[in-house]
């Protein structure tokens, strides 16, 4: 298959900083969409994967799966996109499309493993897939998304991971008006969870360990903000939540939040702590409660989420950076020195 060279930022080894490199993209086939990448969000999973903190990293690694771009070429069988359209790519670029999960619009749970935007086997060129820290990407139109008019494009980029990761479980567990919903952690995921839960009509309570995030939590849509380090404040909410979305990726006491769930309520994990969380059996069985997990969303649901964001004027809170500051941004992320998502201005790759 023919290919072309594009500029990118990536790393040749887990201990190396990210640096400029050149990668190959396939020429657009009959059902493919080629995009010039305009913006790429920076996800904590980029750090985990590039630094081999998660298993299976293949090098060189080019991260990035929160991509907003402009269509520059379409294959002759493409029906949903035309040159000049504003488009997006999230965490997946393909799946088997035939298993029960894929047929149900749950490509993220493909029984034969989805092809992720980076660090998955590349079915077309061989080797592995490259992410959005690059100037262009080529993807089958079935895995490309339309960005509705009116959204700030840079602030839309994190919706492709942080947005759908929080939207999907809130929708699946039927968060609506009249429900009491907790969001644990006000970071890249949590701040989107607050916005969505409020837009769904729920009574939203944010839990944070940081007193300096109380004001932001209220500004972003929480009705109440509780300092989880305050036992009395936590105790006031015992057994009262229909649903809690846990967005924390550090070790924490999950039983403290299970104690806040009411009968038949659910706590869903979307954060990914490095080590297993200790769960007390009693926090699940008295009274009967559910502990669950959720991972991004399918393509149709991601498009639904983007349309919802356009209707409700929801985007991420971002800091826009040139790609040359990506290593500095990663270090700041590890120190939680960001409110609440970095986004790369990919035009800086030309510098």
Which pLDDT tens digit goes with each residue over 171-218? 999 999 999 999 999 999 999 999 999 999 999 999 999 999 999 999
Residue-wise pLDDT for 22-50, tens only, equals: 999 999 999 999 999 999 999 999 999 99
Residue-level pLDDT at 180: 98
pLDDT band, very low/low/confident/very high, at 62 (cuts 50, 70, 90): very high
Q: Which two tokens stand for residue 264?
A: 């038949």
Strand partners, 94: 115
| Residue 270 and residue 147 in one domain | no
Give pLDDT, residue 55: 85
Average of per-residue pLDDT across 116-127: 96
* Domain identity same for 94 and 197: no
Q: Residue 128's closest CA among 230, 191, 198, 58?
A: 58
Q: How far apart are CA 184 and CA 244, in angstroms?
A: 7
| Mean per-residue pLDDT, 286-301 | 97
- Strands 203-208, 318-322: pairing is unpaired
Assign residue 317 the CATH number of its domain: 3.90.180.10
- Find the domain containing 105 and state its range: 3-161+297-350
Q: Alpha helices, DSSP H only, in 207-298?
A: 214-220, 231-235, 254-258, 281-285
Q: Is there a single domain that holds both residue 336 and residue 250?
A: no
Domain final position from 249, 276, 293: 293
Q: Give me the residue label for tokens 């929160």.
A: 66
* Mean pLDDT calculated for residue range 56-77: 97
Specify the pLDDT at position 294. Answer: 98
117: left (phi over 0), alpha (psi -120 to 50) or beta: alpha
Report DSSP state, residue 134. B
Instruction: Please tell me whether residues 68 and 118 are part of one structural domain.
Output: yes
Residues 312 and 275 in one domain: no
Local confidence band at 140 (pLDDT 50, 70, 90 cut-offs): very high
Looking at the structure, tell me whether residues 28 and 104 fall in a common domain. Answer: yes
The mean pLDDT of the chain is 96
Task: Give the model's confidence band at 1: pLDDT under 50 very low, under 70 low, under 90 confident, else very high.
Answer: confident
Same domain? 146 vs 8: yes
**Which of these, 244, 185, 172, 186, lies nearest to 219 by C-alpha position?**
186
Total domains present in the chain: 2
Q: For helices 299-312 and 162-172, what crossing angle results, to 10°? A: 100
What pLDDT shows up at residue 290? Answer: 98
pLDDT in tens, 221-254: 999 999 999 999 999 999 999 999 999 998 999 9
- Regarding whether 24 and 119 lie in a shared domain, the answer is yes
Same domain, 9 and 155: yes
Same domain, 118 and 234: no
Closest-CA residue to 39 (of 93, 89, 81) = 89
Q: Judge if 284 and 172 occupy the same domain.
A: yes
Last residue of a domain, one of 254, 275, 293: 293
Q: If you count DSSP H runs as helices and E runs as strands, how many of each does the chain have, helices first?
A: 11, 17
Whether the per-residue pLDDT at 152 is higher than 90: the answer is: yes
Q: Report the pLDDT averaged over residues 90-103.
A: 98
Q: How confident is the model at residue 54 (pLDDT cuts 50, 70, 90)?
A: confident
- pLDDT over 80 at 351, yes or no: no
CATH number of domain containing 262? 3.40.50.720
206 with 217, same domain: the answer is yes
Which of 245, 261, 293 corresponds to the end of one domain? 293
């Amino acid at each position: 298959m023919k290919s072309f060279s594009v500029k990118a930022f990536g790393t040749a080894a887990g201990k190396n900083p990210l640096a400029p490199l050149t990668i190959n993209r396939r020429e657009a086939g009959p059902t493919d969409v080629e995009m010039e990448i305009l913006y790429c969000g920076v996800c904590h999973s980029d750090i985990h994967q590039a630094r081999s903190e998660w298993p299976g990293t293949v090098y060189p690694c080019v991260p990035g799966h929160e991509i907003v771009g402009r269509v520059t070429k379409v294959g002759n069988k493409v029906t949903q996109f035309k040159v000049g359209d504003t488009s997006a790519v999230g965490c997946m670029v393909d799946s088997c499309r035939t298993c029960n999960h894929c047929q149900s619009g749950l490509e993220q749970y493909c029984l034969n493993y989805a092809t992720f935007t980076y660090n998955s086997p590349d079915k077309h060129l061989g080797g592995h897939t490259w992410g959005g820290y690059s100037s262009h990407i080529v993807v089958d139109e079935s895995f490309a998304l339309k960005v509705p008019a009116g959204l700030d494009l840079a602030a839309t980029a994190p919706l492709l991971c942080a947005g759908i990761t929080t939207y999907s479980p809130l929708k699946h567990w039927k968060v609506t008006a009249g429900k009491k919903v907790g969001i644990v952690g006000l970071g890249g995921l949590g701040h989107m969870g607050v916005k969505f839960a409020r837009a769904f009509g729920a009574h939203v309570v944010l839990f944070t360990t940081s007193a300096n995030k109380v004001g932001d939590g209220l500004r972003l849509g929480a009705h109440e903000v509780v300092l989880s380090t305050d036992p009395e404040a936590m105790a006031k909410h015992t057994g009262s939540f229909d649903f809690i979305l846990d967005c924390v990726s550090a070790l924490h006491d999950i039983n403290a939040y299970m104690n806040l769930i009411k009968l038949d309520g659910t706590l869903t994990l979307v954060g990914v702590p490095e080590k297993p969380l200790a769960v007390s059996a009693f926090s699940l069985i008295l009274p009967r409660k559910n502990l669950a997990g959720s991972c991004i969303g399918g393509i149709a649901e991601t498009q639904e989420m983007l349309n919802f964001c356009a209707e409700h004027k929801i985007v991420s809170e971002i800091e826009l950076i040139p790609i040359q500051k990506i290593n500095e941004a990663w270090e700041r992320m590890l120190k939680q020195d960001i409110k609440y998502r970095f986004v790369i201005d990919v035009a800086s790759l030309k510098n």
